[in-house]
Amino acid sequence: MAFVRFLWDFVVGDDWVSAAGVVLLLAAVALAVHAGSVNAWWLLPPGVIVVLALTLRRATRPHPARTSRPRGRLAPPP
């Protein structure tokens, strides 16, 4: 059971969305190769770059809960 937890943490990590995107990308390439007998391995690097860019965009976007606090110095305690 510990190996399964390790494998899950290694593959999925902190962001399950990017892991799911890569799995969908692998499935799409496998279907393209199987259906058309086309060598489609070259679709993986640009696809991973797109998944990474979307993940970084989502991670760096300001969160509504974080933007409600005033910026600057904190008020001194009463």
pTM given for the model: 0.65
pLDDT (0 to 100) of residue 47: 92
The first and second tokens of residue 4, run together, are 């399964």
pLDDT (0 to 100) of residue 74: 65
Low-confidence ranges of the chain (pLDDT < 70): 65-78
pLDDT (0 to 100) of residue 65: 65
pLDDT (0 to 100) of residue 70: 57
**What is the four-CA torsion angle of 17, 20, 24, 26, rounded to 10 degrees?**
120
Average pLDDT score, the chain: 82
Q: How far is C-alpha 17 from the geometric centre of its chain's CA atoms?
A: 5
**Where do runs of H (alpha helix) occur along 1-78?**
2-11, 16-36, 44-60, 64-67
